[in-house]
Amino acid sequence: MKAIHQKQEHTKSYYAATTNEVTDYPVLEGAVSVDICVVGAGFTGVATALTLAERGFSVALVEANRVGWGASGRNGGQLINGISGLSKVQNKYGNGIADMLWDLRWRGNDIIHDRVAKYGIDCDLKNGFIETALKPRQMADLEEYAAEMERHNHPYPYELWGREKTRKMLGTDAYIGGFVSYRDGHLHPLNLCIGEARAAFELGVQIFEQSPVTGIEHGPRPRVRTAGGQVEADSVVLAGNAYHLLESRHLSNLTFPAGSYVIATEPLSDELVAEINPLDLAVCDLNEIVDYYRLSADKRMLYGGRCNYSGREPASIKTAIVPRMLEIYPQLKDVRIDYQWGGMIGIVLNRIPALGRINGNVYYCQGYSGHGVNATHIMGELTADAIGGTMEKFDLFADMKHFRIPGSQWVGNQIIALGMLYFRLKDRL
C-alpha cells in the first residue's frame, strides 16, 4: 500500500528554535539490510530503535521529515505517568494484572530518567507535576489517587494540596486543589527525541531523514520502500502515529488526527515566576478538554490546550489560546507572545493505544490520545520485547478491540468532534 508525503522541516516552535542539534541524517539511497526497520523517528520509533540497539539488533530508522518532526517535538513537554485506557485493559483481564499495570504506567518515567542520565541528554528534565481540580468531583478523584499511591507504597514524593496551598503555589484562584507528583515532571521534548536518536546512532542504528516511505512489500523479510531506496528486514515497526498513511487496509480509521496547540511567552521576570509557579511545576487540569502549561528552562510560559478534533486549524493559535491563559493568569495580560505552533496527535476512539501485527512481522504502535511522552517509551519497550519473543505485555494491548468508524477520515473526525462537544458541555457544568 502506498502513501504520499511531502518532506518538511520543523515547525516554527520554541522547541525548534532552542534545539541542541539540528539533525542532518542522510536520505535513504540504495538497498539496506538489517534485523529491524523502524518507520517514523518520533518518540515511539526512536525509543523502539534505541531499545533494540541496546539489545544487539541491527536497526534502520526511516523518517519522512526530521527526527522529532511530529507531535514528539511539538508537545507540551509534560512527563506524566500512565497510559490512556488502562482501566479498560484491567476490566478485560481482571484485577490479577492490577499491580503489573500500576508498575507499567510508571515505566516510561524510568526509561526517560535512565536514558537522560546514561547518555547525557540535555533536555531540561525537571521533576514536579500537579493535576489541578476545578470541581469537587475532581478533587474527590485526586483524593482517591492519593490513596492509591499509598496502597502501592509509591517510592517517590507526592502531596495532596487544598485550595489555599494550590492558590499560593500557583498564583491563581482558578483551582480548588491539586495533586503533586515529584516523579512526574517536564522537559524539552525535541531535545529528548534528538538526544535519544543520537544515542541510537552511536550504538549503530542507521538513521535516514527526508525519506518518506512509499510502501511496504510483505514477505518473510519485508521490504520498506522509499523513492530512492529500500530497507529489507526480518521485522518492521510502523511508528508514524497521526501522520502516516501506510497499511490503510489494516489501519485506516483506527487513529484520527486531532490538532493541539501551544504558545510561548517572552521570558518572565523573577518576580512573576515567584508569584505563579515558584516550584517550577508542570500543570494540567482535570477537565475532559484540558489546559496544560509549564515554564521553560528560560522561564517562558508555555501554555497549551484548545485541542481541535474536527481537523480544522484555528485562524490564529494565539487568539485561540491567550484568552484561556488570561482566564487563569490575568497577571500575564501585558506579556508578549514569542511563539505559537500546533500539530497533530493521534486519537483512538476507546483511548487505548493501538498495537498489533500485520502478517506476523510488521508491528504497529500508535494512538496515545495526547498522553504520549511517557506512553511512547513504554510501548517502544513492549514492541522491542515482542520482536525479541516476549509477547505477554504487547498482547494485552494488541488483543483489545478497537472500533473503526466507517467512511472517510474526515467523517470520523466530525463524529469525534461531536462527541467532544458533549465533554466541553460537561466541563462547564
Q: Facing residues of 262 across strands? A: 304, 341
pLDDT band at residue 249 under the 50/70/90 scheme: confident
Q: Flag whether 304 is in a domain.
A: no
Q: Flag whether 168 is in a domain.
A: yes
In single-letter form, the type of residue at position 347 comes to: I
List the one residue out of 382, 375, 366, 370 whose CA is nearest residue 289.
370
Q: Flag whether 199 is in a domain.
A: no
Q: Flag whether 151 is in a domain.
A: yes
Span 70-98, average pLDDT: 95
For position 243, what pLDDT does the model report? 73
pLDDT band at residue 305 under the 50/70/90 scheme: confident
The structure's pTM equals 0.92
- Are 170 and 134 in contact by the 8 Å Cβ rule? The answer is no
For position 337, what pLDDT does the model report? 98
Q: Flag whether 306 is in a domain.
A: no
Residue 213, pLDDT > 70, answer: yes
Burial 245-262 (b: 16+ CB within 10 A, else e): bbbeeebbbbbbbbbbbb
For position 307, what pLDDT does the model report? 66
| Residues 306-350: tens digit of each pLDDT | 666 555 677 899 999 999 999 999 999 999 999 999 988 888 878
For position 82, what pLDDT does the model report? 94
pLDDT band at residue 196 under the 50/70/90 scheme: very high
Residue 371, pLDDT > 90, answer: no
Residue 419, pLDDT > 60, answer: no
Q: How far apart are CA 157 and CA 149, in angstroms?
A: 10
How large a percentage of the chain has pLDDT more than 90? 78
Residue 2, pLDDT > 90, answer: no
Q: How far apart are CA 166 and CA 324, in angstroms?
A: 19
Residue 63, pLDDT > 70, answer: yes
Residue 155, pLDDT > 90, answer: yes
Other CB atoms closer than 10 Å to residue 131's CB: what's the count?
23
Span 280-287, average pLDDT: 96
For position 370, what pLDDT does the model report? 79
Residue 28, pLDDT > 60, answer: yes
For position 205, what pLDDT does the model report? 98
Q: At what angle do helices 43-54 and 189-202 cross, to 10 degrees?
A: 30
Residue with grid cell 522509499, as numbered in its chain: 226
How large a percentage of the chain has pLDDT more than 70? 90
Q: Flag whether 145 is in a domain.
A: yes
pLDDT band at residue 365 under the 50/70/90 scheme: very high
Residue 359, pLDDT > 90, answer: yes
Query: Measured over all CA atoms, what is the biggest interatomic distance in the chain, rounded to whole angstroms?
Result: 63
Residue 89, pLDDT > 50, answer: yes
pLDDT band at residue 66 under the 50/70/90 scheme: very high
Q: 144 is in which domain, residue-wise?
A: 126-185
**Any idea which of 102-111, 166-175, 253-262 has the lowest mean pLDDT?**
253-262
Q: Facing residues of 225 across strands? A: 215, 230
| Residues 126-149: tens digit of each pLDDT | 999 999 999 999 999 999 999 999
For position 297, what pLDDT does the model report? 98
Q: Flag whether 166 is in a domain.
A: yes
- Are 350 and 288 in contact by the 8 Å Cβ rule? The answer is no
Residues in the chain: 429
**Any idea which of 52-66, 79-93, 370-384, 403-417 has the lowest mean pLDDT?**
403-417
**Any idea which of 80-89, 241-250, 393-402 has the lowest mean pLDDT?**
241-250
Please state, rounded to an integer, the average pLDDT across all residues of the chain: 91
Q: At what angle do helices 107-119 and 98-105 cross, to 10 degrees?
A: 40
Q: Flag whether 174 is in a domain.
A: yes
Domains identified in the chain, total number: 1
